A and B are shown apart, each in its own frame.
Chain A
Amino acid sequence: MEPVLVAQALNALYGIASLAILALGLAVVLGLLGVLNLAHGELVMIGAYCAYVVQAQGWPYLYAVPLALVVCGVLGYVVERWLVRPLYQRPFDTLVVTWGLSLLLRKCAEAMFGLGYKSLTEPIGGTVEVLGATYPRYRLMLIVVSVLVLGALVLWYGRSRTGTRIKAMAGNPELARALGIPVRRYASATFVVGTCLAGLAGVMIAPLAPVQPFMGLDHILMSFFVLVVGGLGSVGGLLTGSAVIGGSNSIVSALSDSTGGYFCVLLLAIVFLWLRPRGIHARS
């Protein structure tokens, strides 16, 4: 195969994997709790700033993972307990609350780090040969890690008792509570998992993106499109959504230009909202 085709195929793969990992936390929270967390992008941003702090201190890059998990986890717990919990079953109110939270978090980041772009060094630099195409190592690793994280989550959710209980909670909270499942605690834990995943995604993409308070806005939009296309409540939906949105963006961008790619994404989102508002993998 032509090296350029290999590279573009890897680009598409990278586009899909990075999108899936960015949308994962949003999908967990929206799919299982019915809360559209508009501050998801800002949690990604916070994860990225955690990576920046770690690198600025001269610590090994992997230290960013526990730091981001702790920061985003604590934040997620507090937000769920005092902002989101009183508003379950009130989708519009949670939308407004999380939107307000996103503004607040952006301003906090601005107050702490300023508006300037932070530059991180790729922890694994350089390029590597893949079937004749030279491709950046870090991006390849990001594809692999995304697959591992998604796979681990699928296995755990599908096989563990906790996964089954969360499914019961999402399906029918009252019945679940009647069966003695601590619904509140599970809801809290699910929200925290969602925010932690956002933080993790932030750590992963931080060396590739301009780290700045507004960076979350870019990611929330594409992630939202993923859920529109893929549908809620299943990993299959997330993967299909990422493949359709990330893949078409990447392929059309490669064949024509970024304007074409972006146009295609918007068109798909509109078509799905219009003709199939519950997405490809709609949960009954």
Chain B
Amino acid sequence: MTQVPFVPARRRILSAAAGTAVLGTGWVGSALAQAKEFKVGFFIALSGPASLFGPTQRACADLAAEKINKAGGIMGRQVKLIFADAGGPPAETAKSAVRLMLEDKVDLFIGSHDSATREANIATIKGKTPYIYSPVYEGGECSPNVFCLGETPPQQAQPAIEFLAKEKKLKTFHLIGDDYVWPRKVNEQVKKFVAEYGGKVVGEEYVPFGAPNKFEEAVTRIKAAKPDAVIATLVGADNVNFNRTFAGFGLDKTIARLSLLLEENTLMGVGAENSANLYSCMGYFANNPSDAAKAFKAEYMAKYGEKAPQLATIGADCYSALNLAKALFDKAGAADAKKLAAASEGLVFATASGRVTMRGRQVDKDMYLAQCKGTEFEVIKTLKAIKSGTACRA
């Protein structure tokens, strides 16, 4: 599939300026209608540390596009994916969004990236082009013409905390996260859930996002405070680093850990000897027990073979997002924001882990609570059709 070519900074600034001037006029909308292919501006991480997920994101998206095109495309038009980098600063990604709107005239944006980038993109796109945001997130995103696929705290944190509080009888919780919008917003809700189940949050701290963090001091502090469990909203290398330090100091034996963004790649970094008492709750694991997930994995392996990039929730969400796009546009019959929103209500579509229902432009879905066994996830609980807790008006 095509890649957005490198554009010199000067031109990018010009096009961004032109974008701001033109966006208000509706010119983009009319240009979109004339395009023949169904162009999707697809934001994945191609650079920076998050580019670890890039190959999986791309492979899953290509797989979905191939299937959709074989089945006649979206609204009868062949799907063309235009990948753009969302691995840099949010403002850079937003500039690519402007270019994709003006030069490539995309019909749809799909984004698989962090929440800070989502906010920048939405502020730039302003609902002029439909936008599907696919990965796990903090919930509550109701901007016009935006559709969210990801797990929200009521789907992810609530059942996991219920399990820890009720079945494991854990009472005190320490929260640690990266310092940006996702961890902060998630923890607001985590505190509510902990209180609801009779527990207590005894500590909350954040580490600078994107800085060279080390966790010896935080782990020593946690050790002294002796909470029953730690809830981590750390991402990527920080998550690996924290969990390794935590186990290195011997805390894994006495304190449970719930990590809210723990997937196959991160767990591989954490390592088998550091993953005792570690839990994750996601809508998709690579060894997901559902039939749909097994079928998806078989298709994926058949297309990419032994060298296939590791399947994980980030990546599988890209496959699901394109399926949503097909179901949504085919039902609405037009790229009109109102029609799309109306069509989305109660829309049933296939994801990598099974059929789900869209309500309030969010997704109600099955969730899987897993305990880490070495570098594998062992699903200990399947939670059926959990509501997103966010209901946007149509």
Contacts and interface: CB of A to CB of B under 8 A. Distances in A.
Q: Do A and B come from one complex?
A: yes
Interface of A: 3-4, 7-8, 11, 14-15, 115-122, 125-127, 134-136, 138-139, 208-212, 214-215, 217-219, 221-222, 250, 253-254, 257-259, 261-262
B310 A115 contact: no
Given A116-B52, A122-B248, A127-B250, A258 B216 contact: no
A134 B179 contact: no
A209 B269 CA distance: 9
Contact of A116 (B211, B215, B221, B265): B265
Given A118-B269, A219-B212, 18 more contacts: A7-B220, A7-B223, A8-B220, A11-B217, A15-B214, A116-B268, A117-B52, A119-B375, A120-B271, A121-B271, A127-B250, A139-B248, A214-B237, A221-B212, A253-B214, A258-B205, A258-B213, A262-B208
Chain B CB within 10 Å, residue with most, of A119, A212, A214, A254: A119
A257 B244 contact: no
A221 B211 CA distance: 10
A119 B248 contact: no
Contact of B269 (A127, A210, A221, A253): A210
Contacts of B218: 253, 257-258
B260 to A, nearest CB: 18
B279 to A, nearest CB: 19
A117 B272 CA distance: 13
A222 B208 contact: no
Contact of A218 (B51, B179, B212, B216): B212
Contacts of B273: 121, 125
Nearest to A221: B212
A258 B219 CA distance: 11
A115 B52 contact: yes
A253 B273 CA distance: 27
Contacts of A254: 217, 220-221
B209 to A, nearest CB: 10
Contacts of A262: 208, 211, 213
A222 to B, nearest CB: 6
**Chief secondary structure at chain B's binding surface:** helix
Interface in B246-275: 248-250, 265-266, 268-274
A208 B51 contact: no
A115 B50 CA distance: 9
29 contacts: A3-B224, A4-B221, A4-B223, A7-B220, A11-B216, A115-B54, A116-B265, A116-B269, A116-B310, A117-B265, A119-B244, A119-B268, A119-B269, A121-B273, A126-B250, A134-B249, A136-B249, A138-B248, A210-B240, A210-B241, A211-B269, A212-B52, A212-B237, A212-B269, A215-B237, A222-B212, A258-B208, A258-B213, A262-B208
A82 B270 CA distance: 39
B207 interface: yes
Nearest to B238: A210
A63 B388 CA distance: 52
A211 B269 CA distance: 8
Contacts of B268: 116-119
B312 to A, nearest CB: 10
B7 to A, nearest CB: 19
Chain A CB within 10 Å, residue with most, of B211, B215, B237, B375: B211
